[in-house]
Structure 1
Amino acid sequence: MDLTKHQRRPRLELKLRHHPDNLHALYRESEDPVERSRWHAIWLRFGAPAPQMNRATGHSIPEVAQTLGYSTRWVRDTLHRYNKGKPMADARHQNPGQPPLLPPELQEAFRQALLQPHPRDGVWTIRNAAEWLSERLGRPVDPRRAWNWMKRLGFAPLRPRPRHRDRDFEEGEAFKKNSSSPFSS
């Protein structure tokens, strides 16, 4: 709905399906905080007394927004939701989400495989784990995803600490023996 600069929004008419007393009961009995806020807004708009405005019932949309701490847009959207008969509850809580990448039986197989030495080189690297998962799932698996699953199952990739390629092993050992550490006794 495009409004020109000086045009007002059309008046929002409510298709009241509940008695104002029932709106108050729905608001007070709701346990879901989102649903409770929505019922509260509807009750304030069409059921709550507003004596300062000399009206028998109902506050204006800006008054409801200020009372609840929401924007007038949120109040209007809530009223539209009520008019369309949509549920007042927050549907995000009912979304189970996407199933995990690894089903429970494959998780256990992966855990058992990680307990054994890797068949090719004896060490489970992140790339080895990603290849193993790719073979079982039948699609490519990113090494970062394999790393996440290794951590989730309590494992870490094994690799030696980096060493300088030009180091002298004997010189390092001699340094260790001759250096005095404040922690040695």
Structure 2
Amino acid sequence: MQLAKHQRRPRLELKNPPHPDNLHALYRDAQDPVERARWHALWLLATGHSIPEVAKTLGYSQRWVRTVVHRYNQGGMEAMTDLRHRNRGKPPLLPPEVQEAFRQALSAPHPRDGLWTIRNAAEWLSERLGRPVDPRRAWSWMKRLGFAPLRPRPRHRGQDPEEGEEFKKNSS
């Protein structure tokens, strides 16, 4: 909608709003947070608050409040519970069956050297997924599944094993 330079936007109002008590009950009973925010906005508008006041109260933009009002006016109460417009995000990197296989693999010793390092985990995931997996991503999945990468205890290259055993005996 194109407006002239000094022309005001037409006032947007709720068409056939239910009683504010009904909107308040819908707002209080909603389990989904997005749906709850929509009902809250409609309830505030039905009780006489302006769009800028509702936006400021709820912490949303005026555009979002206007979108909610438009959706309500076009689709009624069903449009407020319609979640097809929600952004569900990307699917996880690991499908559930690969996650479970990875968990089982991590619980057993690594086939090559017995230790699950981050690099070993990244190679395992790359083989299963058919594409390269960054070691940092493998580390985050290990942590998410409750595992930590294992590293051998550091040893000094020039250490004398006999001297080390003698030290252990004398330090007790």
Distance 1:26 1:75 in 2: 24
Q: Does residue 70 of structure 2 align to residue 83 of structure 1?
A: yes
Distance 1:3 1:15 in 2: 21
Cα distance 1:12–1:131, how it changes in 2: closer, same or farther (>3 A)? Answer: same
Alignment of structure 1 residues 1-12 onto 2, 5 Å: 10-12=8-10
- Preserved contact between residue 118 and residue 135 of structure 2 (Cα < 8 Å): yes
State the TM-score, normalizing by the size of structure 1.
Answer: 0.61
Deviation at 1:96, TM superposition (A): 4.5
Q: Does residue 139 of structure 2 align to residue 147 of structure 1?
A: yes
Q: Match of 2:133, SS? A: coil
Q: CA RMSD in A?
A: 3.8
- Preserved contact between residue 82 and residue 88 of structure 1 (Cα < 8 Å): no
Q: Deviations over 1:101-132 (max 9, x none)?
A: 22232233333433444343343322112111
Cα distance 1:98–1:74, how it changes in 2: closer, same or farther (>3 A)? Answer: closer
The equivalent of 2:151 in structure 1 is: 159
Q: Match of 1:69, SS? A: helix
Q: Structure 1: which 5+ runs fail to align?
A: 46-58, 181-185
Cα distance 1:155–1:2, how it changes in 2: closer, same or farther (>3 A)? Answer: same
Distance 1:145 1:37 in 2: 39
Distance 1:3 1:164 in 2: 79
Answer with 1 or 2: which has the greater Rg: 1
Q: Does residue 116 of structure 2 align to residue 129 of structure 1?
A: no
- Preserved contact between residue 24 and residue 43 of structure 1 (Cα < 8 Å): yes
- Preserved contact between residue 41 and residue 58 of structure 2 (Cα < 8 Å): no
Deviation at 1:23, TM superposition (A): 4.4
The equivalent of 2:16 in structure 1 is: 18
Alignment of structure 1 residues 162-173 onto 2, 5 Å: 162-173=154-165
Distance 2:142 2:158 in 1: 33
Cα distance 1:61–1:82, how it changes in 2: closer, same or farther (>3 A)? Answer: closer
Q: Deviations over 1:62-108 (max 9, x none)?
A: 6x459x7357x845641453135474469599654433322232233
Q: Deviations over 1:5-52 (max 9, x none)?
A: xx6x82541254214xx241442221333123211221133xxxxxxx
State the TM-score, normalizing by the size of structure 2.
Answer: 0.65
Distance 1:132 1:106 in 2: 11
The equivalent of 1:38 in structure 2 is: 41
Structure 1 runs of 4+ with >6 Å offset: 1-4
Q: Structure 2: which 5+ runs fail to align?
A: 31-35
Distance 1:116 1:83 in 2: 56
Paired amino acid for 1:10: R
Q: Match of 1:127, SS? A: helix
